[in-house]
Amino acid sequence: MKKRKTREGEEGMEIVWQTPANPPEPQDYIFRNGRRHVLPYYFEFISHVKNRWAGKTIVDLFSEEFKGRPYDYYVSAVKCGRIQVDGEIVPVSYIVKRSQKISHFVHRHEPPVMAWDVSILQKEPDVLTVCKPASVPVHPCGQYRKNTVVGILQAEHGLAPLFPIHRLDRLVSGLLILARNASKADLFRQQIEAGLVQKQYIAKVIGEFPVDEQTVDANIDYNAREGRSTAEEKDTSSDTPVKGKVACTKFTRISTDGTTSIVLCEPITGRTHQIRVHLQYMGHPIANDMLYLSKHVTDRSAGGTSADRAAFESHHFLKSSFHDKFHEECEENPRYEFSIDPMCTNCPYLAPKGYDAHEEGMWLHCVRYSGPGWTYECPYPDWASLS
């Protein structure tokens, strides 16, 4: 059941608050300009006070740890009960204690994703395989909850629960295997951890890839702060230890036109961004992988996520452009109207601030997974042909 709560300072407005227990529904989605959008909704974010948070005031905690909104917003949110501690409204000077439950009630705007369908490949009693579209995350994470493969499958096909048994980056497309019960998911994970599962991807890379099979044995060091990995091989003439985790990928050229090549990629290990960074390491990065094509990448974590920073920077602009933009969108798309929340730092826009409206799917596609007695495959994408 959805939780109905009325907060102080909202002039008696009834708001339907959602929690992760509320399933996505078909009417939550709208399609516009080739994008799948989620209608903004009210949501309760729940966290518990970490050791390093204890002793801070509730307002300082939020302004220091969650930089996506201005300080004044957090003051107002605490005063009107949009931020609560252990289910109670507290003063702005309240000092939080370790392990306390903190609820932040927000008007949530999810980033749009490409409007491609999540097509079902095989539907078995305990396994579901789909072709994941690029730009759609696999499961709830960050700003995404309903605009995920798991959320879309639940809303459009009534398929739940689902347990993804492997990862695909958000911008990567292709085969995704989901177990339909926990015991089958555990079996898959055991096989993967035991090295019994073979994985195949295809990529479109820069340059004329070597004709012979190539094997890259280079450690992968993932920097969570920057959101990228680097590759490093052991220098036999030095005792300096190599950073990162052991990683190995085999590559085989499928075709080339001299400018780009289609390459079969077989990761032996499973490190973050392994295929992408190993191809970069070889001098043949994926041809539209902006993260690894560039040698200079802005630190995306400084000051919060890009969307958070943009929300902060646009806070005052929103106040002045509120009515013009809202009426403009409603006139062009009358069926896309939604309730505007006076405290929301993203309203009146449908999408949150800061998402890349021009992003495209990466030319990396999962085509095949196989293990003891089973094989699942996904068709090649259109970009895989160089003819």
As a whole number, mean pLDDT of residues 219-240 equals 83
Q: What is the mean pLDDT of residues 359-382?
A: 95
Same domain? For 154 and 292 the reply is yes
More confident residue, 134 or 359: 134
pLDDT in tens, 245-274: 999 999 999 999 999 999 999 999 999 999
Domain co-membership, 77 together with 136: no
pLDDT beyond 60 at 166: yes
How far is residue 30's CA from residue 322's CA, in Å, rounded to a whole number? 22
Position 19 scores a pLDDT of 80
Asked if 204 and 233 sit in the same domain, the reply is yes
Q: Which residues carry out catalysis?
A: 169
57 assigned to some structural domain: yes
Does residue 84 sit in the same domain as residue 49? yes
Within 10 angstroms of residue 54's Cβ, the number of other Cβ atoms is 14
DSSP state of 111: P
Indicate whether 162 pLDDT > 90.
yes
pLDDT at residue 68 in the model: 83
CB atoms within 10 A of CB 118: 20
| Residue of higher predicted confidence among 308 and 76 | 76
Residues 101 and 131 grouped into a single domain: no
Whether the bond between 210 and the residue before it is cis, its omega within 30 degrees of 0, is: no
Residue 237 Cα distances to 35, 241, 328, angstroms: 52, 11, 66
DSSP letter string, 317-362: HHHHHHHHHHHHHHHH-GGG--PPPTT-SSTT-SSPTT--TT----
More confident call, 301 vs 139: 139
Structure-token pair, residue 247 = 């990683």
Residues 210 and 178 in one domain: yes
- Show Cβ contacts of residue 233 under 8 Å, excluding neighbours closer than 6 positions: 217, 218, 219, 242
Please give the angle made by the CA atoms of 80, 83 and 87, to the nearest 5 degrees: 100
Given a cut of 50, whether residue 387 has pLDDT beyond it is yes
Do 149 and 272 lie in one domain? The reply is yes
The predicted structure's pLDDT at residue 331 = 36
User: How many CB atoms neighbour CB 46 within 10 A?
Assistant: 11
Amino acid in the structure at residue 280: Q
pLDDT at 305 over 50: no
CA distances from 29 to 35, 111, 119, 140, 175 (A): 10, 12, 17, 16, 23
Of 29, 384, 372, the residue nearest 174 (C-alpha): 384
Final residue of a structural domain among 38, 73, 108: 108
**Alpha helix ranges (H) inside the chain:** 58-65, 71-79, 149-157, 182-193, 274-282, 290-293, 306-313, 315-332
Q: Which of 84, 90, 77, 88 is CA-nearest to residue 102?
A: 84
pLDDT tier for residue 310 given thresholds of 50, 70 and 90: very low
Q: Which of 108, 137, 169 is the last residue of a domain?
A: 108
- Tell me whether residue 213 is in a domain: yes
User: How many domains does the chain contain in total?
Assistant: 2
Q: What pLDDT, in 10s, does the model give residues 30-74?
A: 999 899 999 999 999 999 999 999 999 999 999 999 988 899 999
Q: Looking at residue 295, what is its pLDDT?
A: 58
CATH classification at residue 92: 3.10.290.10
Flag whether 352 is in a domain.
no
Q: Which of 343, 336, 387, 297 is nearest to 108 (CA)?
A: 343
- DSSP SS3 for 123: strand
Looking at every residue in the chain, the average pLDDT score rounds to: 85
How crowded is residue 113: how many other Cβ atoms within 10 Å of its Cβ?
Answer: 24
- Specify the amino acid at residue 330: C
Are the C-beta atoms of residues 60 and 74 closer than 8 Å to each other? no
Q: Is residue 249 part of a domain?
A: yes
User: pLDDT category, 236, cuts 50, 70, 90?
Assistant: low
CATH number, domain containing residue 363: 3.30.2350.10
Tokens 């160089």 correspond to 386
Distance separating alpha carbons of residues 39 and 58, to the nearest angstrom? 30
- Tell whether 183 is covered by a domain: yes
pLDDT at 13: 54
b/e per residue, 224-259, with b = 16+ CB within 10 A?
eeeebbbbeeeeeeeeeeeebeebbbebbbeebeee
Same domain, 93 and 133: no
Q: Is the pLDDT of residue 279 over 60?
A: yes
Kind of pairing between the strands at 228-232 and 198-206: unpaired
pLDDT at 317 over 60: no
Residue 324 lies in a domain: no
Which of 84, 108, 132 terminates a domain? The answer is 108
Please indicate, yes or no, if residue 74 is contained in any of the structural domains: yes
Identify whether residues 127 and 231 lie together within a single domain.
Answer: yes
Residues 128 and 17 in one domain: no
Together in a domain, 254 and 185: yes
What is the span of the domain harbouring residue 215? 116-299+358-384
pTM for the full predicted model: 0.81
Q: Stretch 274-291: mean pLDDT, rounded?
A: 95
- Please answer whether residues 132 and 118 qualify as being in contact, where contact means their C-beta atoms are separated by less than 8 angstroms: yes
Residues 48 and 146 in one domain: no
Task: Report if residue 76 sits inside a domain.
Answer: yes
pLDDT given for residue 328 in this prediction: 41
